[in-house]
């Protein structure tokens, strides 16, 4: 049964799941920073090592805790956040990621044996609607400002579509730098990541391709002042079974920031 | 596709797919790095394999 009333949402509320991390790596105003690898609450994720073909994710140590409902569905019921600088906090579901990318190579690196996303796109299908790609830094990169082209299969099943990083890369980008990949005209999302091509070497460091879905975005317009959205203002967004929630923070300045908050799911 | 060492600062280049959609114009090479990487558009790095010389 789906939750269809506010009473149902209230009755189905689960205990809060907390976030508290210090984003000490150098932030860049307006560039997403993944909090995944930082210590705090939840604990730091270890950089994944599934290989170039990647792994479809149904859980991953370091995610925000998530338990499937005994019956029925899961909805975002409350997202609270605060930070020591203004910015916005994105709650996301991590669907797939890989490793083994040669950061010094300027030729196409095919994600051999890469799989389709699990059935957790915006409609609970494995098609890719609302699923985006990104390149995530898990160990600071070196010199160079390459452009990143992700080849992907789109939500309609059309292969060999390409998109590049929306925000320009930077030399020495710190751990957590999260370069979201734009979509080709007309595309609504990514079903499968196929390959990555760097236009030039990034010299050193470690990067991963990631497929993710944004569940909610929370504006934090004032430093040290919390803000929250609830089931109504978040659009009663559904999370699907085996979700892997994690956070992105879009800072307004480069200042290291304490980012915290909590999430409450409603299930039923 | 250009080879390393062929392009010089000031050469005009066209960016090859899959990067051409993002860089659709013809650009001057603004700097060269020791490994042959070329810089265009202010600070965008490209291996010569992704560029072709126009003039």
Q: Which residues of B touch A200 (CB under 8 A)?
A: 37, 45-47, 50
Give which of B14, B1, B6 is closest to B36, Cα–Cα. Answer: B6
Check CB contact under 8 Å for B44 and A168: yes
Query: Which of A160, A166, A74 minimizes the C-alpha distance to A111?
Result: A160
Stated as kind and residue range, the H or E segment containing A220 is strand A206-220
Neighbours of B24 (CB within 10 A): 10
Burial class (CB in 10 A: 0-12, 13-18, 19+), A121: buried
Q: Rounded to the nearest 5 degrees, what angle is found at the Cα of A25, between the Cα atoms of A23 and A31? A: 80
Give pLDDT, residue A25: 85
Distance of residue B39 Cα from the nearest chain A Cα, in angstroms: 9
A166: closest chain B residue by CA: B22
Using an 8 Å Cβ cutoff, are A155 and A127 in contact? yes
Q: From residue A3, how far is each of A202, A251, B9 by CA, in Å?
A: 48, 34, 63
CA distance A146 to A203: 10
Say what the pLDDT of residue A256 is: 85
Query: pLDDT truncated to tens, each residue of chain A (268 aa)?
Result: 699 998 999 999 999 999 999 998 889 999 999 999 999 999 999 999 999 999 999 999 999 999 999 999 999 999 999 999 999 999 999 999 999 999 999 999 999 999 999 999 999 999 999 999 999 999 999 999 999 999 999 999 999 999 999 999 999 999 999 999 999 999 999 999 999 999 999 999 999 999 999 999 999 999 999 999 999 998 889 999 999 999 999 999 998 899 999 999 999 9
pLDDT for B6 equals: 86
Distance (Å, rounded) from C-alpha A76 to C-alpha A79?
7
Has residue B4 got a pLDDT over 90? no
Nearest to A144 among B23, B45, B49 (CB): B45
- Enumerate residues 1 to 55 of chain B having a beta carbon within 8 A of any beta carbon in chain A: 17-19, 21-23, 35, 37, 39, 43-47, 49-50
Complex confidence, ipTM: 0.93
Return the DSSP state at A117. Answer: P
């Amino acid at each position: 049964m789906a939750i269809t009333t506010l009473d149902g949402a209230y009755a189905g509320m689960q205990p809060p799941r907390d976030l508290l991390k210090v984003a000490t790596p150098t932030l860049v105003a307006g560039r997403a920073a993944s909090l995944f690898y930082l210590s705090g609450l939840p604990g730091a994720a270890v950089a994944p090592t599934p290989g170039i073909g990647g792994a479809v994710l149904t859980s991953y140590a370091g995610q925000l805790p998530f338990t499937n409902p005994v019956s029925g569905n899961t909805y975002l019921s409350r997202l609270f956040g605060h930070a020591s600088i203004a910015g916005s906090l994105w709650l996301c579901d991590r669907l797939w990621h890989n490793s083994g990318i040669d950061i010094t190579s300027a030729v196409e690196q095919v994600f051999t044996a890469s799989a389709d996303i699990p059935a957790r796109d915006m409609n609970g299908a494995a098609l890719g609607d609302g699923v985006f790609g990104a390149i995530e830094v898990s160990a600071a990169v070196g010199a160079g400002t390459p452009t990143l082209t992700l080849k992907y299969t789109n939500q309609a099943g059309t292969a060999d579509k390409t998109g590049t990083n929306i925000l320009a890369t930077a030399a020495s980008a710190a751990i957590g730098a999260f370069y979201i990949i734009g979509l080709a005209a007309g595309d609504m999302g990514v079903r499968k990541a196929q390959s990555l091509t760097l236009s030039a070497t990034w010299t050193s460091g470690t990067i991963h391709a990631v497929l993710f879905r944004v569940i909610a975005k929370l504006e934090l317009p004032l430093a040290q002042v919390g803000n929250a959205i609830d089931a109504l203002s978040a659009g009663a967004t559904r999370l699907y079974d085996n979700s892997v929630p994690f956070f992105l923070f879009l800072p307004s300045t480069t200042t290291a920031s304490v980012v915290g908050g909590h999430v409450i799911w409603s299930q039923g | 596709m250009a080879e390393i060492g062929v392009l010089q600062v000031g050469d005009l280049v066209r960016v090859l797919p899959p990067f051409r959609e993002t860089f659709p114009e013809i650009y001057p090479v603004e700097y060269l790095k020791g490994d042959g990487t070329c810089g265009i558009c202010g600070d965008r790095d490209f291996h010569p394999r992704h560029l072709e010389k126009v003039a």
